[in-house]
Amino acid sequence: MSMKLSVKHTVDQWFNKIAKNPALGRTVSILWLIVIGWIAFGWNLGNIGLIDETEPLFAEASRQMFVTGDWITPFFNGDTRFDKPALIYWCQAIAYAIIGVNEWAVRLPSAIAAFALVCLVFYTIQWYFAKQDELEQVSRPTRRYLTSFIAAALMALNPETIIWARTGVSDMLLTGCMASALLCFFLGYAEKGGSREQGAGSRGAKLITNAPSPMPHALFPNKWYIACYVLIAGAILSKGPVGIVLPGLIVAVFLLYVGKFREVLREMRLLVGVLIILGLSVPWFALVIWRNGWNYINAFFGYHNLERFTEVVNGHSAPWYFYFLVVLLGFAPYSVYLPLSIIRLKFWQRSHWRSLERFQQFGLFAWLWFASIFGFFTVAVTKLPSYVLPLMPAAAILVALLWSDFFQDTEARQTIPVSSSPTPPISPSFLRVSGWVNVVFLSVLSIALFNITHILGTDPAISNFHEQIQRTGLPVIAGVMWLVCAVLVAALLLNRQWNQVIAINLIGFVAFLNFVLTPASFFIDRERQLPLRELSAVILEAKEPNEELIMLGFKKPSVVFYSHIHVNYLGLPQEAIDHIKNQAAKGLKPASVLLLAEQKKFLQMDLQPDDYKNLSTKGAYNLVRVPFKKKKSEKMDIS
């Protein structure tokens, strides 16, 4: 016991030293953010090839924008691409201009958006606890720094965030803009409410919280509200109307719940905000509609927005409980603490929350943020795991606030009245139950990973997929890793060392990321994507001027990106034979086509050895040249 108190006292002394030296505090904070940001988003970001099928669509559309100078209409493979607005393409094209056309440039916008969001979450947690210390007239740097460190780590180091922060698509850009807009809204909301005198606080708290409030009749709202409006415009340019619908829904639900709807809308200068949002987002939409007319309106607003919400699009249907599983696994292993984090708030006690200072409503705001997005996409008919990515920051905040109760400073622990906290202390029995659920979850995860080859489906692009996975040894490493974590968490629970449980989960995930997920990513890339990149290089060397490239039986957009060549996608062998016959009848030059096919589909064409020239075979794919001079071959039957 005395040893534990000694360690706790040493930690408190260290954080007190940081609090008394703002420069040291900023340095430690920046170093922490850089370390977790690099681990989560930077390490090996561009060392793995583009992943079919979605990522190369964005990468190639951005490359076309960069090459042609057309910054209005996105194109892929010669056709307009109206799936998403232009911001992601602009960001990737700018990255191409700076560091070249490569995988790093494709993914850099997503990684930057994720890192910026992590930094803002860190700042907001710091600010929140500094305000709480100011209100209670104490200084608790240990709780303030440890909770903000944990919040940033939870935000960065979870599967859902890492996957989309390392993928060159629009989802993380949308989440970065939307979540940052919501945090800026709350900072603006709380800053306005905190303008009256609340007593003297600590020096560290004053350094973070003191800020002038806008004049009562000022034309513009405070800086945080303005930032919120700018970021909402960015969210609209990232993915369309959802970029304003979801933040608007969350803010409206929150303000109605706390009874400040009209008051806050007035102080937000809503008309000014709408003008800012429209001024930043509408010009591109106006230009792309002016250039493409109803084709764009029907494709983007109709198919990719309205129909995705009301109908199943591209076969992406799922049961009603789909997002429960997505959050459980996507925010693993910390997701097991979300129920306790939510129950702890007692959000149903509306009168209690309405009586608090504005900044003290932060936990309630995070819960309504989480619930609104979860409910919205549960109602939507089309379901994809990436849709609930914007609720992950709220989940990280909720769990971090839960664990803040265990980071109390030794000297201040006995001096803070319970009534000053926006939430009551956690019942040890509730925490004990959640802790043992954590142990069970990690144990089940370990068993699942030991038996992963029996759970995963087959991949036609990788021969002997299950056997190769087993030979890597990664399932055993992963299973042992999480089993050890389960044992450690159980030991901590038995010794009632609650505050170290979350650290074991974080350390376990970092180890899992470095020693399992990263090697697995390289394995999948080597077996699944590398053959296509190698064949793309062969195509660049072998292709004659104006020679057509046909892809038979599959669609892999990465070939378009890496070969810089238009690809004609054909589904059936007979369809390819008929197409070659038609091209031969036209007397085109050169008198041949390049054919890239899966080996199974290629064999179904029933070509004889003298009907084609084999150029390369990589993985599951064949690249051949089919000369038109062979059109009289009976086997080809294209005379």
State pLDDT tens for residues 124-180. 999 999 999 888 888 888 888 999 999 999 999 999 999 999 999 999 999 999 999
pLDDT at 195: 39
Return the exposure string of 432-451: e unless at least 16 CB atoms fall within 10 Å of the residue's CB, then b: eebbeebbebbbebbeebbe
Distances 213 to 31, 151, 224, 362, 401 between C-alpha atoms, Å: 31, 27, 11, 19, 27
| pLDDT mean across residues, the chain | 86
Whether the upstream peptide bond of residue 221 has omega within 30° of 0, thus cis, is: no
How large a percentage of the chain has pLDDT more than 90? 60
CA distance 84 to 299: 10
Q: In this model, does residue 489 exceed pLDDT 90?
A: yes
* Residue 630 confidence (pLDDT): 44
Distance of CA 30 to the CA centre of its chain: 22
Residue 19 is predicted with a pLDDT of: 66
Taking only the tens place, the pLDDT of each residue in 27-59 is 999 999 999 999 999 999 999 999 988 999 999
Q: Which of residues 289 and 419 earns the better pLDDT score?
A: 289
* The pLDDT value given to residue 288: 93
pLDDT exceeds cutoff 50 at 206: no
Q: Which of 171-175, 183-187, 299-303, 592-596 has the lowest mean pLDDT?
A: 299-303
% of the chain beyond a pLDDT of 70: 88
DSSP state for residue 583 in the 8-state scheme: H
pLDDT at 207: 38
Whole-angstrom distance between the N-terminal and C-terminal Cα of the chain? 90
Q: Return d(Cα 222, Cα 157) in angstroms, integer.
A: 32
Measured at the CA of 303, the angle between CA 298 and CA 307, to 5 degrees, comes to 130
